[in-house]
Structure 1
Amino acid sequence: MDDGLIPLELTGFIGREDELRAVGAAVASSRLVSLVGPGGSGKTRLALRAARDAAFEHRHWVDLAATADPLAVPELVAAALGVLRTADRDGIGVLAGRLADRRTLLCLDNCEHVREAAADVVGELLRRCPLLTVLCTSREPLRLPGETVWRVPPMSREDSVRLFAERSRDLGAAQDPAVVAACARMEGMPLAVELAAAWSGILSPREILDGLDDRFRLLVRGPHGVAARHQTLAASMAWSYDLLQESDRALFERLAVFRGGFSAASAQTLCGERAPVLEGLRSLVEKSLLVADTGGAATRFRMLETVREFAEQRLEAAGAIDAARDRHLEACLELVRSWRDLIDTDKDAWRAAVAAEYENFDAALGWGLSRPDPSLGRELAAELPWFWHSSRRGREGLALLRRAAHLGEGDRTALQARLLTGTALVADTNERREGSELAARAFALAEAAGEERSACLALLLTAIDRLYDDLEAAQRMAAEARERAAGLGDGFVHDAANVLLGMVHHRRDDHARAAALLEEGMRGLAARGDREVASTACGILAVSAALGGDLRRADERARESLALAEPLGDFHRIGMARIAIARIARWAGRPEDSWDALELLLQTDANVEPPPFVPWFFTCVGDLHLDAGDRERARHWYERDLANPGGISEHLLAPDARLGLARALGPGEAANAHVDMAMRAGRDLDMPGLLADAFEAAGELAPDPKRAEEAHHEALAIRAEHGLRLGCVRSLEHLAALADASGSGLEAARLLGACDRAREEIGLAASGLDVPGEAEARREGRSMELEEAVAYARRARGRRSRPASGWASLTPTEVSVVELAITGMTNPEIAGKLFMSRATVKTHLSHAYAKLGIANRTQLATVERR
């Protein structure tokens, strides 16, 4: 049983033995128990102790008092459960996936002010999770079917006296008739007893009793019961408040504007004082009007919600609440601005600092944006996009940024540019479809307003979006963003632009240049706590290392990527790292490790509709099923990848999934169409590795050995040229199988011997392929380096099938290009016909001219075809 997820009680628990037994029985027999009662009646303390005593394997505590935003409820629950953030997807589904098969007690404290949202979350989780039990505290029931409403009774007279004696640190007080009478007067309200006991070091029991009598005669009316208990607490708090010194009363009232706790420094900023504030905080803690949590690096103070409401009423009655909220807004803005340098030096520390004060920032934003002059609220919103970019509260942040930007609609100011850029940044991780258009608008406005850093970031965000369909544009924009960032000293954009440029080179299989850029960018990002892009860069480095033939290093890099991503709690970043681990394990012949890496993603996928998108996930699962011989399941997963177009041109959509689907379908027109589409994408995007993969698939599906051999040689040539050693091994093994089938067992054995050696060096499992009777040739093959084996295979091809010059020397692709050129087609027309770039057409023609011994198109018609 895990007790660590239930908060520790800061003071001893007194009495309530009968109530604990009753609540324990209710929790054991009902799936939803709500402890209901007025503020100060002891609901939270009773729930804490009951949760600690309950026999559940997993127990989680969620305090909802800090937020007034219904959107925050599922995110706070997710945070307590350690569930990954899934941005705009079904958060309840992810929660349900975590709880579906775990016997869990989920405790939601202080539900009353977000009761409807809490009821929605609880109702849906109970419906989906049969092993879940929920314990709530609230001033009113959730009103859900099957809810057991347990109304918290007053403390017994004996327990009230014991509580007074414990809190006053005077055990003899339990025998004092004045204490007994005072506790009777407070009608078993634990908070009222604690407030009274806090004065016992200054007032005698008789003075406490007399003071309570005076105050209660003024405030308490009506019969006993819930209403009377509300009045009892109000009278007790008013009595305690009246006893405070004037300076402490003023501080007490002003502190009501804080939400979710505060530090001494924040209180001092709010009040504009130092020593008097520290003394006042100590005094209010001593009077039980503040709670001090000293467990962290710095003490955090907070008011119980009932106490905060009382202080807020006093502040409002004095006509000072607007001024206090204005000062709170100013203090929040001053505070977050004081941390601004951390964004460029230690984003982990910045995120932690903002998270600790976020409920205050949220309250200040709500106030600031509602003012006749919303400028301070808009300024505060412009300081927080990096928090919302990687936070569970991203959707709330996006709504606040939109609101702030809307209030400045039509402005051409630097602030409006910052807000639009911030909105694009948060949309990038929460609503990608909106992010691209926003980034372009933000860039134009930032340029016009002279807001250079925003323009730089907006340009980078625009470049990221072009990565999916226009590598040339992505490369151009990223290079410009990097140049601008260097001049501005913007480390994030500079390093992230390097990563983006590295991704472009990675896709083009220029892995040496890609690795240098990715490595430089990743190290700079990681050093500053820019984990999101750093983890992505590291994952790409892992795949790059694998493709280049170093699976051991690739696995190390993939796990480094996961370590960078995990503190973010983000499904997308963690998912990409896990997929890198899975792909590398699959290539290494360890499918069980692949499935282990994907387990968390599969759980989420099963409970969220539509599932959150992570590149390569569906295709990776499809590949594993296809490896295991399950074509139907493989087809299902590949088709899922193709069912999420996202506005991408059809032939560019998930080309790797198309190749998997082609293999799952088997030879035929449907499979060939998918291969052709992937081949077109490889040519249009200038991605040699994808083009080689398409040739490999074409070879596997070819109807005759000759066409299969041509396709596998095309794949091998591309892979060898770009250092794709992992793919070279596959190509050589395909060619070995074809050679063996054609009667060239000696050649096949030599190639397999070279592949045996390469597999050991790369970290691949043994292939299992064999050529009977050629053991000596296989041993000879082991003497060859992989590059020597590639050269051997290509020479052998020349001896068997292709001369060095003339028509017969042309590759199938070169023949196709030349035949179309002879008909009079221009290079652009040939490119469109054969699904390749103009530059590729030009390259094929130049190779053909050299082999045919001619200089230009005009001479093509004069060359006799043999």
Structure 2
Amino acid sequence: MSVPHAIPHHPAAPEIRAGHLSRTTHRGDRAVATTGLAALAVGQAHTGNLAAAEQSALRARDAAAPLHDFLRIGTAAWGPARILALRGRSDEAETILGELQQVIDEASTAPCVPGWSATRAQPALWRGAATEALRWCERERHAFTPDLLLTHTAALRLAGDAPAARLRLEQAEASPTLAAMPQLRSVALAERAHLTTPEDPTAAATLHRDALRIRLRHGLVLGCIDSLEALAAPAGTPERVGLLLGAADRARRDTGYFAARPPLPDEPVFAMALDRCRALTLDRAAERALGSATCEPTPNHAAFRSRSRAARWTGARPGSPSTPTPDPRPPTSTPTTTHPANRPSTAKVSGRCVTYLSSLATWPAPTVRPPSR
């Protein structure tokens, strides 16, 4: 279930994958098509295209319908359920999950559906039902991949058990595959920031900005929205809070992302700032949140369209030659990251292998591959 998190962002990648998967379905390779379409749906969701993600998830469910395989059917069930939950349709998501849960409960022998319990926990977290999410996470017996460990971390944190949440987070950070998964690296940084907030709000804000840099660089639209909203709490002034929440609110409306939507301040002092900052695109708001205009936004989504398509991929400005212009500003000596999860290296990946395998001895050592470019 970690496959979608490892897919690097490229503007044409979803269309290329969709074409390949259509041919796979026509050839009758339904099992491969089911997994691929579910991964495509989650990838499209992360980059903000929730309407296309829902269609891909429904295609995955159709491909899996004739199969008698709990793994594939489970994958096909959590795909549309997760997308529907992200769009705020939690009742429909629970209906889909509940149908398969009934089949699992009635099976003569307990089927292996890796990650099913922790996957059921994620919509519960988005609804704010931390206790329910925690119960689902604690039922997981088959898979301890980084995405599931991070879900458990969030459930423990929201349930008030910070020490246990830190232990789970350390297990996730020790995963040797985390370095190749920008989405999960940003989630790990955000969870570390949430756990750090009570003791050191300044360090927590730095971690949130580190997560935002990763998300902005890889076009993770929904993650950028989460980061802006997380940075709003320590922002201070009404103008700053309005900047972050106003831009995030506009992006939520543009994408249809309504899961875990925080309430907007209704005091008059925030109203003007919120209205004014809803005119900002997501990448411009993120640049201001980072205190810089030197970020490298590379997504292919309407929420980021403050530059032309060519400019986004070549560095050129609209109306200028296609050759990128060197940045005249002197390089800064300030590091762009502060947490080990955001600074992968070969030595650290090797060290993580040892730590991860010692804590989860039942799992085989995964193959570590550098992210494709």
Residues 1:832 and 2:351 aligned together? yes
Distance in 1 (CA, whole Å) between partners of 2:66 and 2:341 is 54
| Sequence identity (%) | 30
Q: Contact between 1:588 and 1:764, CA under 8 Å: does it hold in 2?
A: yes
Question: Of residues 694, 701, 704 in structure 1, which corresponds to 2:188?
Answer: 694
Partner of 2:41: 542
Asked whether the 8 Å contact 2:134–2:152 carries over to 1, the reply is no
Q: Secondary structure at the match of 1:738?
A: coil
Matches within 5 A, 1:797-816: 805-806=332-333, 809=335, 811-813=337-339
Take 1:525 and 1:815, find their aligned partners in 2: how far apart are those partners?
Answer: 36
Offset of 1:629 from its aligned partner?
A: 4.0
In structure 2, do the counterparts of structure 1 residues 563 and 827 end up closer, same or farther at CA, with 3 Å as the change threshold? closer
In the alignment, the residues of structure 2 paired with residue 652 and residue 759 of structure 1 have an alpha-carbon distance, to the nearest angstrom, of 26
Amino acid at match of 1:522: L
In structure 2, distance between residues paired with 1:760 and 1:684: 31
Q: Tell me if structure 2 keeps the 8 A contact 1:582–1:593.
A: yes
Gap change, CA 1:829 and 1:689, over 3 Å in 2: closer
SS of the residue corresponding to residue 534 of structure 1 reads helix
- Give the partner amino acid of 1:832: G
> Within 1, Cα distance between the matches of 2:346 and 2:98?
48
Provide Cα deviations, 1:185-215, integer angstroms capped at 9, x if missing partner: xxxxxxxxxxxxxxxxxxxxxxxxxxxxxxx
Letter in 2 for 1:674: R
1:651–1:680 contact (8 Å) kept in structure 2: no
Residue 248 of structure 2 is aligned to residue 749 of structure 1: no
CA distance in 1, matches of 2:47, 2:136: 27
The alpha carbon displacement at 1:556 in A equals 1.4
Aligned to 1:674: 168
Find the aligned partners of 2:180 and 2:105 in 1 and give their Cα distance: 35
* Aligned CA distance change for structure 1 residues 797 and 701 (closer, same or farther; 3 Å): farther
2:306 is matched with: none
**Residues 790, 590 of structure 1: alpha-carbon distance in 2 compared, 3 angstrom cutoff:** same
TM superposition shift of 1:567: 2.8
Shift of 1:759: 0.7
Distance 1:668 1:563 in 2: 41
The amino acid across from 2:183 in the alignment is G
Cα deviation, residue 730, structure 1: 0.7
Distance in structure 2 (CA, Å) of the matches to 1:665 and 1:659: 10
- Residue among 113, 119, 127 paired with 1:620: 119
Tell me the secondary structure at the aligned position of residue 180 of structure 2.
coil
Q: What's the TM-score once normalised by structure 2's chain length?
A: 0.74
CA shift in 2, pair 1:610/1:656, >3 Å: farther
Q: Is the 8 A contact 1:716 1:728 kept in 2?
A: yes
The amino acid of 1:720's aligned partner reads L
Q: Quote the offset at 1:568 in angstroms.
A: 2.9
Q: What are the superposed Cα offsets for residues 521-548 of structure 1, whole Å, 9 maximum, x if unpaired?
A: 3122112222221122222211111111
Q: CA deviation at 1:550?
A: 1.1
8 Å CA contact 1:623–1:660 kept in 2: the answer is no
TM-aligned CA distance change 1:779 to 1:831, over 3 Å: farther
Question: Structure 1 CA distance, aligned partners of 2:21 and 2:59?
Answer: 11
> Would the alpha carbon gap of residues 658 and 546 (structure 1) be closer, same or farther in structure 2, given more than 3 Å must change?
same
Confirm or deny that 1:599 pairs with 2:118.
no
- Please say if residues 188 and 341 of structure 2, whose CA atoms lie closer than 8 Å, have aligned partners that are also in contact: no
Change (3 A) 1:723 1:816: closer
- Work out which of the residue numbers 224, 230, 240 in structure 2 matches 1:728: 224
Aligned to 1:706: 202
CA distance in 2, matches of 1:720, 1:669: 30
Matched, 1:788 2:284: yes
| 3-state secondary structure, aligned to 1:529 | coil
Query: Higher helix share goes to which structure?
Result: 1
Tell me how far apart the structure 1 counterparts of residues 183 and 109 of structure 2 sit (CA, whole Å).
30
Partners of 2:187 and 2:88 in 1: CA distance? 19
What is the rounded CA distance, in whole Å, between the counterparts of 1:797 and 1:666 in structure 2?
Answer: 37
Q: Distance in 1 between matches of 2:342 and 2:120?
A: 36
Provide structure 1 residue ranges, at least 5 long, that are not aligned to the other structure.
Answer: 1-466, 469-502, 818-825, 841-866
Mapping for residues 359-758 of structure 1, pairs under 5 Å? 503=3, 506-512=4-10, 515-516=14-15, 518-608=17-107, 611-641=110-140, 643-645=141-143, 654-666=148-160, 668-681=162-175, 684=178, 686-702=180-196, 703=198, 704-739=200-235, 743-758=236-251
SS at match of 1:774: helix
Match of 1:764 in 2: 257
Kindly indicate which of the two structures has a greater share of residues assigned to strand.
Answer: 1
How far did residue 768 of structure 1 move? Answer: 2.2
Using the TM superposition, give the Cα deviation of residue 594 of structure 1 relative to its aligned residue in structure 2, in angstroms: 1.0
Aligned counterparts of 1:827 and 1:543: Cα–Cα separation in 2: 28
Alpha-carbon deviation of 1:715? 1.2
* TM-score for the superposition, normalised by structure 1: 0.34
Q: Is the radius of gyration larger for structure 1 or structure 2?
A: 1
Query: Are residues 733 and 568 of structure 1, via their aligned partners in 2, closer, same or farther at CA, if it must alter by over 3 Å?
Result: same
Counterpart CA distance in 2 for 1:585 and 1:682 is: 31
Counterpart residue number, 1:64: none
How many pairs were matched up? 317
Cα distance in 1, alignment partners of residues 35 and 342 from structure 2:
40
Cα distance in 1 between the residues matched to 2:221 and 2:342: 28
Distance 1:572 1:838 in 2: 24
Deviation for aligned residue 1:696? 1.3
Change (3 A) 1:792 1:613: farther
Q: Give, in whole Å, the separation in 2 of the partners of 1:651 and 1:547.
A: 18
How far does the alpha carbon of each residue in 1:621-668 deviate from its partner, in whole angstroms, 9 at most, with x for none? 212333444433322211222x225xxxx6758334433344344353
Offset, 1:549: 0.1
Amino acid at match of 1:762: T
Letter in 2 for 1:531: R
Distance 2:202 2:93 in 1: 35
Matched letter for residue 157 of structure 2: R
Deviation at 1:570, TM superposition (A): 4.0
Mapped contact 2:115–2:142 kept (Cα < 8 A): no
Partner amino acid for 2:337?
T
Unaligned runs of 5+ in 2: 295-329, 357-366
Distance 1:753 1:682, change over 3 A: farther
Deviation at 1:591, TM superposition (A): 1.1
Provide the secondary structure at the position in 2 that maps to 1:769.
Answer: coil
Q: Distance in 2 between matches of 1:810 and 1:540?
A: 30
Taking the aligned partners of 1:653 and 1:733, their CA distance within structure 2 comes to 21
Q: Larger relative CO (CA 8 A, sep 6+): 1 or 2? A: 2
Deviation at 1:616, TM superposition (A): 4.3
Separation of aligned partners in 1, 2:180 and 2:291: 27
Rounded Cα–Cα distance in structure 2 between residues aligned with 1:637 and 1:780: 42
Mapping for residues 338-357 of structure 1, pairs under 5 Å: none
> Any idea what SS the aligned residue of 1:832 has?
helix
Change (3 A) 1:747 1:603: same
String of CA shifts for 1:72-92, please: whole Å, max 9, x gaps.
Answer: xxxxxxxxxxxxxxxxxxxxx
RMSD of equivalent CA atoms = 3.5
What is residue 854 of structure 1 aligned with on the other side? Answer: none
Contact 1:658 1:678 in 2 (8 A): no
SS at match of 1:784: coil
C-alpha separation between the residues in 1 aligned to 2:163 and 2:66? 47
Contact 2:174 2:352 in 1 (8 A): no
Matching residue's letter, 2:218 = H
Q: Return the alpha-carbon distance in structure 2 between the equivalents of residues 562 and 511 of structure 1.
A: 24
